[in-house]
Protein backbone atom coordinates (compact mmCIF):
# COMPACT_ATOMS: atom_id res chain seq x y z
CA UNK A 1 0.00 0.00 0.00
CA UNK A 2 1.41 3.39 -0.99
CA UNK A 3 1.02 6.28 1.39
CA UNK A 4 -0.26 9.61 0.11
CA UNK A 5 2.34 11.31 2.30
CA UNK A 6 5.57 9.29 2.25
CA UNK A 7 7.07 8.69 5.70
CA UNK A 8 10.55 7.64 6.66
CA UNK A 9 10.69 4.52 8.84
CA UNK A 10 12.94 1.65 9.91
CA UNK A 11 11.92 -2.03 9.75
CA UNK A 12 13.43 -4.51 12.22
CA UNK A 13 11.91 -7.95 11.59
CA UNK A 14 8.20 -7.39 12.35
CA UNK A 15 8.78 -4.13 14.22
CA UNK A 16 8.48 -0.76 12.50
CA UNK A 17 9.77 2.54 13.81
CA UNK A 18 8.97 5.95 12.37
CA UNK A 19 11.96 8.20 11.78
CA UNK A 20 12.29 11.96 11.39
CA UNK A 21 15.36 13.95 10.29
CA UNK A 22 15.25 17.70 10.81
CA UNK A 23 17.63 20.63 10.93
CA UNK A 24 18.11 22.28 14.29
CA UNK A 25 17.45 25.99 14.73
CA UNK A 26 18.48 28.58 17.27
CA UNK A 27 16.97 31.85 18.44
CA UNK A 28 18.63 35.14 17.51
CA UNK A 29 17.49 38.72 18.10
CA UNK A 30 14.95 39.88 15.57
CA UNK A 31 16.19 42.33 12.94
CA UNK A 32 13.53 44.80 11.95
CA UNK A 33 12.77 45.25 8.30
CA UNK A 34 11.98 48.72 6.78
CA UNK A 35 8.35 47.63 6.34
CA UNK A 36 8.08 46.69 10.02
CA UNK A 37 9.58 50.01 11.07
CA UNK A 38 7.03 51.95 8.99
CA UNK A 39 4.23 49.77 10.35
CA UNK A 40 5.41 50.36 13.92
CA UNK A 41 5.37 54.15 13.44
CA UNK A 42 1.84 54.06 12.01
CA UNK A 43 0.51 51.53 14.54
CA UNK A 44 2.50 51.85 17.76
CA UNK A 45 0.09 49.58 19.64
CA UNK A 46 0.96 46.55 17.51
CA UNK A 47 3.39 43.92 18.78
CA UNK A 48 6.31 42.57 16.75
CA UNK A 49 8.55 39.53 17.21
CA UNK A 50 11.67 39.95 19.30
CA UNK A 51 13.52 36.80 18.18
CA UNK A 52 13.90 34.73 15.03
CA UNK A 53 14.64 31.03 14.53
CA UNK A 54 17.53 30.51 12.15
CA UNK A 55 18.97 27.17 10.91
CA UNK A 56 22.22 25.97 12.43
CA UNK A 57 23.27 23.46 9.78
CA UNK A 58 23.12 20.64 12.35
CA UNK A 59 20.81 17.65 11.97
CA UNK A 60 18.70 15.74 14.50
CA UNK A 61 17.61 12.12 14.05
CA UNK A 62 14.47 11.08 15.94
CA UNK A 63 13.31 7.46 16.19
CA UNK A 64 9.79 7.04 17.60
CA UNK A 65 9.47 3.95 19.74
CA UNK A 66 6.49 1.70 20.40
CA UNK A 67 3.72 3.41 22.36
CA UNK A 68 5.10 6.93 21.90
CA UNK A 69 1.64 8.31 21.00
CA UNK A 70 0.03 6.83 24.13
CA UNK A 71 2.75 8.43 26.25
CA UNK A 72 2.27 11.89 24.83
CA UNK A 73 5.07 11.56 22.27
CA UNK A 74 7.77 11.26 24.94
CA UNK A 75 8.83 7.68 24.13
CA UNK A 76 11.46 8.40 21.48
CA UNK A 77 15.19 8.43 20.98
CA UNK A 78 17.10 11.41 19.54
CA UNK A 79 20.62 11.97 18.26
CA UNK A 80 22.12 15.29 17.17
CA UNK A 81 25.13 16.34 15.19
CA UNK A 82 27.99 16.92 17.60
CA UNK A 83 30.73 19.47 16.99
CA UNK A 84 33.33 16.76 16.43
CA UNK A 85 31.02 13.82 15.75
CA UNK A 86 28.27 14.25 13.12
CA UNK A 87 25.43 11.78 12.75
CA UNK A 88 27.23 10.02 9.95
CA UNK A 89 29.90 8.97 12.47
CA UNK A 90 27.33 7.70 14.98
CA UNK A 91 25.65 5.12 12.76
CA UNK A 92 26.92 2.07 14.68
CA UNK A 93 25.94 3.54 18.04
CA UNK A 94 22.50 4.55 16.73
CA UNK A 95 21.87 1.07 15.26
CA UNK A 96 22.67 -0.66 18.58
CA UNK A 97 20.46 1.79 20.47
CA UNK A 98 17.54 1.23 18.08
CA UNK A 99 17.84 -2.55 18.42
CA UNK A 100 17.98 -2.29 22.20
CA UNK A 101 14.95 0.01 22.13
CA UNK A 102 12.95 -2.56 20.18
CA UNK A 103 13.82 -5.28 22.72
CA UNK A 104 12.91 -2.99 25.61
CA UNK A 105 9.59 -2.11 23.96
CA UNK A 106 8.77 -5.80 23.48
CA UNK A 107 9.55 -6.50 27.13
CA UNK A 108 7.42 -3.55 28.23
CA UNK A 109 4.57 -4.78 26.04
CA UNK A 110 4.81 -8.28 27.54
CA UNK A 111 4.78 -6.84 31.07
CA UNK A 112 1.76 -4.69 30.23
CA UNK A 113 -0.10 -7.70 28.82
CA UNK A 114 0.71 -9.72 31.93
CA UNK A 115 -0.49 -6.90 34.17
CA UNK A 116 -3.77 -6.68 32.22
CA UNK A 117 -4.25 -10.45 32.46
CA UNK A 118 -3.63 -10.39 36.22
CA UNK A 119 -6.04 -7.49 36.63
CA UNK A 120 -8.69 -9.39 34.66
CA UNK A 121 -8.12 -12.48 36.78
CA UNK A 122 -8.51 -10.45 39.98
CA UNK A 123 -11.70 -8.92 38.62
CA UNK A 124 -13.17 -12.31 37.73
CA UNK A 125 -12.21 -13.68 41.14
CA UNK A 126 -13.86 -10.74 42.88
CA UNK A 127 -17.02 -11.23 40.84
CA UNK A 128 -17.09 -14.94 41.72
CA UNK A 129 -16.69 -14.15 45.43
CA UNK A 130 -19.50 -11.61 45.27
CA UNK A 131 -21.72 -14.15 43.48
CA UNK A 132 -20.98 -16.77 46.12
CA UNK A 133 -21.74 -14.30 48.92
CA UNK A 134 -25.02 -13.34 47.29
CA UNK A 135 -25.99 -17.01 46.82
CA UNK A 136 -25.21 -17.71 50.48
CA UNK A 137 -27.40 -14.79 51.58
CA UNK A 138 -30.21 -15.99 49.31
CA UNK A 139 -30.09 -19.50 50.72
CA UNK A 140 -30.01 -18.14 54.25
CA UNK A 141 -33.04 -15.93 53.58
CA UNK A 142 -34.90 -18.85 51.97
CA UNK A 143 -34.22 -21.10 54.95
CA UNK A 144 -35.35 -18.38 57.36
CA UNK A 145 -38.59 -17.87 55.45
CA UNK A 146 -39.26 -21.63 55.45
CA UNK A 147 -38.68 -21.78 59.19
CA UNK A 148 -41.11 -18.92 59.77
CA UNK A 149 -43.77 -20.69 57.70
CA UNK A 150 -43.23 -23.87 59.71
CA UNK A 151 -43.68 -22.05 63.04
CA UNK A 152 -46.76 -20.05 61.98
CA UNK A 153 -49.41 -22.42 60.54
CA UNK A 154 -51.89 -19.59 60.03
CA UNK A 155 -49.37 -17.70 57.90
CA UNK A 156 -48.77 -20.86 55.87
CA UNK A 157 -52.52 -21.19 55.16
CA UNK A 158 -52.79 -17.60 53.99
CA UNK A 159 -49.72 -17.84 51.78
CA UNK A 160 -50.76 -21.17 50.23
CA UNK A 161 -54.17 -20.13 48.97
CA UNK A 162 -56.41 -20.02 52.05
CA UNK A 163 -57.30 -16.37 51.50
CA UNK A 164 -58.65 -16.78 47.92
CA UNK A 165 -60.57 -19.92 48.95
CA UNK A 166 -62.19 -18.18 51.93
CA UNK A 167 -63.20 -15.18 49.81
CA UNK A 168 -64.72 -17.42 47.13
CA UNK A 169 -66.68 -19.40 49.76
CA UNK A 170 -68.06 -16.20 51.27
CA UNK A 171 -69.11 -14.87 47.86
CA UNK A 172 -71.00 -18.08 46.98
CA UNK A 173 -72.77 -18.69 50.31
CA UNK A 174 -73.70 -15.15 51.34
CA UNK A 175 -77.23 -13.86 50.76
CA UNK A 176 -78.26 -10.22 50.19
CA UNK A 177 -79.72 -8.25 53.11
CA UNK A 178 -83.53 -7.58 53.05
CA UNK A 179 -84.75 -4.23 51.85
CA UNK A 180 -85.68 -1.83 54.73
CA UNK A 181 -89.44 -1.46 55.48
CA UNK A 182 -91.24 1.86 55.28
CA UNK A 183 -93.88 2.95 57.87
CA UNK A 184 -96.56 5.53 57.21
CA UNK A 185 -96.87 8.18 59.94
CA UNK A 186 -99.78 10.69 60.06
CA UNK A 187 -98.91 14.29 60.58
CA UNK A 188 -101.33 17.17 61.37
CA UNK A 189 -100.79 20.50 59.74
CA UNK A 190 -102.35 23.94 60.37
CA UNK A 191 -104.41 23.81 57.15
CA UNK A 192 -105.22 20.22 56.64
CA UNK A 193 -103.84 16.86 56.91
CA UNK A 194 -100.74 15.56 55.22
CA UNK A 195 -99.03 12.26 55.09
CA UNK A 196 -95.32 11.82 55.46
CA UNK A 197 -93.34 8.73 54.88
CA UNK A 198 -90.44 8.01 57.16
CA UNK A 199 -88.02 5.22 56.45
CA UNK A 200 -86.90 3.30 59.43
CA UNK A 201 -83.87 1.08 59.06
CA UNK A 202 -84.32 -2.18 60.75
CA UNK A 203 -81.49 -4.01 62.41
CA UNK A 204 -80.38 -6.74 60.01
CA UNK A 205 -81.02 -10.29 61.02
CA UNK A 206 -78.31 -12.83 61.43
CA UNK A 207 -78.15 -15.54 58.85
CA UNK A 208 -76.50 -18.65 60.09
pLDDT at site 74: 72
State mean pLDDT over 91-109.
Answer: 89
State mean pLDDT over 33-41.
Answer: 90
User: Does residue 7 contact residue 16 with C-beta atoms inside 8 Å?
Assistant: no
Instruction: Please write the tens of the pLDDT for every residue from 62-80.
Output: 998 876 666 666 788 899 9
Instruction: Please write the tens of the pLDDT for every residue from 136-163.
Output: 999 989 988 888 877 776 555 555 554 4
State mean pLDDT over 116-124.
Answer: 93
Residue 156: Cβ within 10 Å count: 13
Higher per-residue pLDDT: 193 or 53: 53
Residues of the chain above pLDDT 90, percent: 25
Per-chain mean pLDDT for the chain: 76
Please report, for the chain, the start and end positions of each structural domain, with discontinuous segments joined by +: 1-151
User: Which H helix or E strand runs over 189?
Assistant: strand 182-189
In this prediction the pTM is 0.50
pLDDT at site 3: 54
Query: What is the C-alpha to C-alpha distance for residues 25 and 52, in angstroms, rounded to an integer?
Result: 9
pLDDT at site 28: 93
CB within 8 Å of 76: residues ≥ 6 apart: 62, 63, 64, 65, 68
Q: Which of 4, 52, 6 is nearest to 31 (CA)?
A: 52
Query: What is the C-alpha to C-alpha distance for residues 30 and 13, in angstroms, rounded to an integer?
Result: 48
CA 54 to centroid of chain Cα atoms = 49
Amino acid sequence: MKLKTPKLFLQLDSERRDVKIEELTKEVPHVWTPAEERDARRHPWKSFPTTDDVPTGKLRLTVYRDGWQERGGSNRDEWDDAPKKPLSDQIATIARAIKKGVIDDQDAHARAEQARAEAQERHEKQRAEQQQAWEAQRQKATAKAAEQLRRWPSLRRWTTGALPTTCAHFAVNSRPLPRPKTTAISGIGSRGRGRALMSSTLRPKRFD
